Amino acid sequence: MKVYYLALSLFLTFFFAHQITHVMCFGRYRDKKCKKKKFYFIYGFWVAFFGILCTMMGSASGVDHTFDYGMNSLELYLGKKNYFEGNVIYAEDDYKHNGDFILEYYVKNTEDIEIISKQIVEENVFIFRDYNLSDINVVWKSVDDELYVYGDDELYATIDVERKGLLVKLSFHWNQEKLNQNIEGR
């Protein structure tokens, strides 16, 4: 599916845009002389138009998430949000630890990762209230370059930090067994 999407996107963005520009500049009822600036300006417009259209199409079909990433980055840097949610993975067959789940968030490159991680956990109603996490600490260990979410000396989650351009991807790997033990201990 990705190969077809890539082929269609390249065709529309470059070849089709060139054909439309050529018809607009050198069509049957237009004069045969066209300045290079005019030609490349029109061509640039169509490349941008079809490029945006193709990224929207890829995002809507679930093949490519470039448009979502770009829009969320703009919203993050121009808006009042400190972070936005990415994927939520909750399938026991997808990874080694049965019952664990992963929550992904994106934050600005300029944010303090420890502070924003604690804020994300506290604002997540599903995790903070439902699992009775009243006192949490987010600790950075430089040895393995990961963050850890502790509560009452129990390790509840590890946070993988991945830098992606202007954003930082935080993947919270929650331990379902430890969270369930915390509920039973109410």
What is the per-residue pLDDT for 48? Answer: 94
List the one residue out of 162, 155, 125, 127 whose CA is nearest residue 139.
155
What is the per-residue pLDDT for 138? Answer: 74
| Residue span of the structural domain in which 48 resides | 2-64
Are both 159 and 110 inside the same structural domain?
yes
Are both 97 and 27 inside the same structural domain?
no
Q: Collect all residues with Cβ–Cβ distance below 8 Å to 167 and sequence separation of at least 6.
A: 69, 73, 76, 106, 107, 108, 109
Share of the chain above pLDDT 70, in %: 82
Are both 27 and 54 inside the same structural domain?
yes
What is the per-residue pLDDT for 90? Answer: 60
Are both 177 and 104 inside the same structural domain?
yes
Please tell me which of 48-62, 80-94, 120-134 the model is most confident about, judged by mean pLDDT.
Answer: 48-62
In whole angstroms, give the CA distance from residue 80 to residue 46: 33
The position carrying tokens 């169509």 is 46
Question: Considering the entire predicted model, what is its pTM?
Answer: 0.66
User: Is 75 among the domain residues?
Assistant: no
More confident of the two residues 131 and 94: 131
Q: Compute the mean pLDDT over every residue in the chain, rounded to the nearest whole number.
A: 79
Counting the structural domains of the chain, the total is 2
Are both 59 and 110 inside the same structural domain?
no
